[in-house]
Structure 1
Amino acid sequence: MQSEFNIMNISSTGLSAQRFRIELISTNIANSETTRTENGGPYRRKVPVFQELVRNIQGKRENSGVIVKSIYEDPSEFRVVYDPTHPDADENGYVRLPNVNIVREMVDMINAQRAYEANATAINTTKAMITSALQIGR
């Protein structure tokens, strides 16, 4: 049963990681038109960096899931559009907009949702296996 509970722990870290990824994608979409941040420039797209969580269990290194190691700011160029009426336009009438591509964010969100669903399925399948094993032992 120990390995079944480890599977559930690993899948639960995956659920948490994908939930965090979806929240970050939502933040990117919400700020896709933000031209002025507290740093002074346009909003910069953020991406989570995941890392394998390894624990030392009884002298053996075992995978215990995934953690969010950091949040990476995408260094790609900002979008530039001509809009001389915009309050943040430069002297030539150009506005620097965030480097957020809505299509890319939606694809990433679908990917995160599928990964979330896969982890939820793994938990439910493991739970069903544990229930079946307990019923056999009766």
Structure 2
Amino acid sequence: MSLTNVFGIAGSAMSAQTIRLNTTASNLANAESVSSSLDETYRARKPVFALKPTEPDAPIENPDGLPAGQGVQVLGIVESDAELRPEYNPTHPMADEEGYVYYPNVQVVEEMADMISASRSFQINAEIMNTAKQMMQRTLQMGQG
């Protein structure tokens, strides 16, 4: 893998982590939203990542016998199928005919941990890009001397 590929790979990882951060922020913003029906209740969302493949003829560059990837791609965003939180509260203005309101299946502690992880992953990839840039600059300086 050439050093110039590092920028594309780290950049795709940073883009993926940005999507992850935005999804987590959306989950946290809707964590306490209330609905009067199961169908209208917000459901936690998670991005699905995959290895961005190389060309089909790419040489095998790792001991696993797999071709090296070219970064991260986001396949989509899926909704959690975890149970929603019904709460019996007949005095609530959003209560259904049985007296229930429904809260999202967002786990705030899990979302905060996910946010910290995504933020740290973004930061690490930014550091990787900076290190690669410094290495390229030093290589060019060697040619000048």
1:113 is the counterpart of 2:119: yes
Change in CA separation of 1:92 and 1:59 when aligned onto 2, cut-off 3 Å:
closer
Q: Is the 8 A contact 1:56 1:62 kept in 2?
A: no
Normalized against structure 2, the TM-score is what? 0.85
In the alignment, structure 2 segments of 5+ residues that lack a partner are 60-66
Which residue of the partner structure matches residue 88 of structure 1?
A: 94
* Higher percent of residues as strand: 1
- The letter of the residue matching 2:25 is S
- The letter of the residue matching 1:45 is A
Which residue of the partner structure matches residue 83 of structure 2?
A: 77
Q: Is the 8 A contact 1:35 1:41 kept in 2?
A: no
1:9 is the counterpart of 2:12: no
Q: Is the 8 A contact 1:22 1:109 kept in 2?
A: yes
Query: How big is the shift at 1:57?
Result: 7.4
Which residue of the partner structure matches residue 62 of structure 2?
A: none
Which residue of the partner structure matches residue 30 of structure 2?
A: 31
Task: Report which stretch shifted further, 75-84 or 55-64.
Answer: 55-64
In the alignment, structure 1 segments of 5+ residues that lack a partner are none
2:141 and 2:117 mapped to 1: Cα distance?
36
- The letter of the residue matching 1:137 is G
CA RMSD of aligned residues (A): 2.0
Change in CA separation of 1:81 and 1:36 when aligned onto 2, cut-off 3 Å:
closer
Normalized against structure 1, the TM-score is what? 0.89
**CA deviation vs aligned residue, 1:50-95 (integer Å, no higher than 9, x gap):** 0100121764344110011011110000012232222232334221
- The letter of the residue matching 2:78 is Y
Kindly tell me the number of residue pairs found equivalent between the two proteins: 136
**Equivalent residue of 2:14, what SS?**
helix
- The letter of the residue matching 2:6 is I
1:45 and 1:16 mapped to 2: Cα distance?
20
Change in CA separation of 1:40 and 1:76 when aligned onto 2, cut-off 3 Å:
closer
